[in-house]
Amino acid sequence: MDVFHNPKHPYTQGLLQSVPRFGSSVQKKDRLDVIEGMVPNLLHLPDGCSFAPRCYKKTVECTLSPIPLQPVSERQEVRCIHA
């Protein structure tokens, strides 16, 4: 359940922020959050992280080589170098 309560990957964070929360004490919004951009063409994935073209945390290092899966806790791993 850590992925829902303490997401580490920026894409997971973005997805969870786009979910409407009825009855929440969080300030109501006129519009849901969105992840800008388009999903990548699976036949032409970008070098490095596939999420880089849409990621708010992207740096040059994200685009250079495949991103390794890294442990971030005893029960969580993430494929992100800035998690």
Among the listed residues 14, 32, 51, 75, the single contact to ligand SF4 using CB under 6 A:
51
Helix (H) or strand (E) holding 10: helix 10-17
Asked if 55 touches ligand SF4 (CB under 6 A), the answer is yes
Place of tokens 């997971």: 12
Nearest distance, CB of residue 59 and ligand SF4, angstroms: 6
CB of 11 to ligand SF4, least distance (A): 6
Residue 8 structure tokens: 């580490």
Q: How far apart are CA 21 and CA 44, in angstroms?
A: 35
Q: If binding is defined by CB under 6 A, does position 57 make contact with ligand SF4?
A: yes
**Which listed range, 12-20, 21-29, 35-43, 75-83, lies at the site for ligand SF4 (CB under 6 A)?**
75-83
Q: Tokens representing 27?
A: 């300030």
